[in-house]
Amino acid sequence: MKLLRLLLTVILVGGVAGCGITMSDYEDAITDGIANLARGKPETALADFEKAIELEPDEATGYLGRANALNTLGRWEDSLNDYERALEIAEGKELANAYANRGRAYALLGEPRKAIADYEKALELDPKIDNPPTFIKRLFSNEPNTDKGIRKYLEALKKQVGSG
């Protein structure tokens, strides 16, 4: 019986390992970057995303991550280049996230019209982005009505532009 268990364990472990259930160095760097952003370590996250970009320069996620880390560090102007690159190569929900996060950078740079355009594009591409995941909610932590999502912030920006 013990021999049978041992044999089954070897087969299962070998089978799982043989199925390629491992993370690539790129995926590992992305995962580390996201985790470090969540832990409040944007400098470390920045290095993780830079490694990911070095490994896979044609993948949008690395650029989005690095731009988000730059945003968190208050380097909004620097983040715009990475958002631009991500928008050139992104697809699906990544595209909506890129617009939403670039809108955040524009808002913090005092460019509400560009922020509005990006927020509207993000909502057009993914209407559910209005209930953003935790990492996006964190990006809005210093903004009014943070509990109301992107639509509420968009309203506030439009009022600001209308009165200015």
Mean pLDDT by 10 residues, the chain (164 residues): 36 41 83 94 97 95 95 94 93 84 92 92 84 51 52 79 72
CATH topology of domain 24-163: 1.25.40
Is the Cα torsion angle 44, 45, 47, 48 positive or negative in sign?
positive
CB 73 within 8 A of CB 47: no
Q: Token pair of 1, please? A: 């019986």
pLDDT at 3: 35
- Any idea which residue has 């355009």 for tokens? 117
pLDDT at 148: 53
pLDDT at 132: 52
